[in-house]
Structure 1
Amino acid sequence: MTLEQSSVRPPAQTRGAGPAGQRRRSRREEILEIAVGLFATRGYHGVSMDDIGAAAGVTGPALYHHFAGKEAMLAAALIPVSEQLLDGGQKRIADSSDDPAAALATLVDFHVEFALANPAVIALHLHELDRLPEEPRRQIRRLQRLYVEEWVSTLTALRGELNAGEARVLAHAAFGLMNSTPFLGGEVDRTRRAELLRAATLSALQG
């Protein structure tokens, strides 16, 4: 299976910005991206800190300067992404608060773009979340529940026949569709993949 390059990055900052206003990534961010790619392709237990250091061109002491270990890397990949999904979902709903249909469409657009940009992170979440210690795992689960509830409130506002439990079932089914990106090959170009995922998800949710 081939995964597209993950794009796990913190919010943009102006200091150290490169061409076209893009911030130059720190060494820590580069190492984290390499670690995410290795975890996604080999599995968490199939990757050692030495493997990550070799791939990143970093010696052991320098690597531990950035991360305490593999668990810290996994948490650093998954917690910010969960926060970004929740913040992004809330913002898009707020921007379309008077129109549930528009809110749902923009939520789908937002999540599809995330899923296409971050297949390695999705693979990590699907297969390696339980490797985390209890506290960061609980934090991620809480953020995820809050994100799901944003979808539930939108669906129940749009479709009055649904109760919250039914809307929650549909929301999780939609995530299954959109989060299929780690398993998609490259025979269909990215733009068309996005179109297909959006159409399939909206069709499933709108009934």
Structure 2
Amino acid sequence: MEQQVDTPPTKPARRSRREEILEIAVGLFAARGYHGVSMDDIGTAAGVTGPALYHHFAGKEAMLVAALMPVSEGLLAGGRGQVSAHPADPRAAVEALVDFHVEFALANPAVIALHLHELDRLPEEPRREIRRLQRQYVEEWVQVLTAVRADVTGGEARVLAHAAFGLMNSTPFLGGEVERQRRATLLRAAALAALLG
């Protein structure tokens, strides 16, 4: 009889110092605005000196790019994954997209605030790339919405998708008086009502 060997539980991957600094910078940018935060402020909050900070990032602009670009890439990849998981059921794909985006929005209110208020601070090339990724993400929604709703055109589905994003991306403005799971339920219901009528 073969002996079973217990494997130790895997520990969650430890975040790099760069990721920790970036999270602190995002929080400061979201709270005070991009121009209201200096590299010294970020260094002080992160407990690192100027030279150590510049070892990780060339400056605030580089931090903004590092914060926003992966978000757009991750949303597009995640959105495509939700749609491809439901190839024969566009309504289930819509519901999966909403669940995916609501979870993202609840987990990342500072990033959403940063995106809403500071995207135009980026240099032209990364800003254009983020906008391109965003358009592709929207098209994932349009594809399934027009499959579910014969009464809407592609342009109308884009309007509905952006309206739903407005609802779901309201997380930076929601207080903590409603617990997280209930917030998720309310946001999901509101988004689905906006999308499906």
Band the TM-score falls in, shorter-chain normalisation? over 0.9
1:97 CA displacement? 1.1
The answer to whether 1:44 aligns with 2:34 is yes
Letter in 1 for 2:161: A
Which of 14, 37, 48 matches 1:24? 14
Stretches of structure 1 that go unaligned for 5 or more consecutive residues are 1-18
Aligned partner of 1:169 in structure 2 is: 159
Which of 102, 107, 126 matches 1:117? 107
Q: Runs of 4+ in structure 1 displaced over 3 angstroms?
A: none
Letter in 1 for 2:47: G
Please give the residue correspondences for 1:17-166 in structure 2 after superposition, counting only pairs within 5 Å: 20-166=10-156
Count residues with an aligned counterpart.
189
Letter in 1 for 2:166: G
Letter in 1 for 2:169: N
| Distance in 1 between residues matched to 2:10 and 2:137, nearest whole Å | 32
1:20 CA displacement? 4.1
Aligned partner of 1:12 in structure 2 is: none
RMSD value over aligned CA atoms? 0.7
Which structure has the bigger radius of gyration?
2
Q: Give the alignment's TM-score, normalised by structure 1.
A: 0.90
| Distance in 2 between residues matched to 1:20 and 1:154, nearest whole Å | 37
1:21 CA displacement? 3.4
Matched residue SS, 1:97: coil
Structure possessing the higher relative contact order (Cα contacts under 8 Å, 6 or more residues apart): 1
Q: Give the alignment's TM-score, normalised by structure 2.
A: 0.95
Letter in 2 for 1:110: F
Q: What does the per-residue CA deviation read over 1:92-113, in whole Å, with 9 as the maximum and x for residues that have no partner? A: 1000010011000000000000
1:145 CA displacement? 0.2
| Distance in 2 between residues matched to 1:144 and 1:81, nearest whole Å | 10
Matched residue SS, 1:21: coil
1:138 CA displacement? 0.4
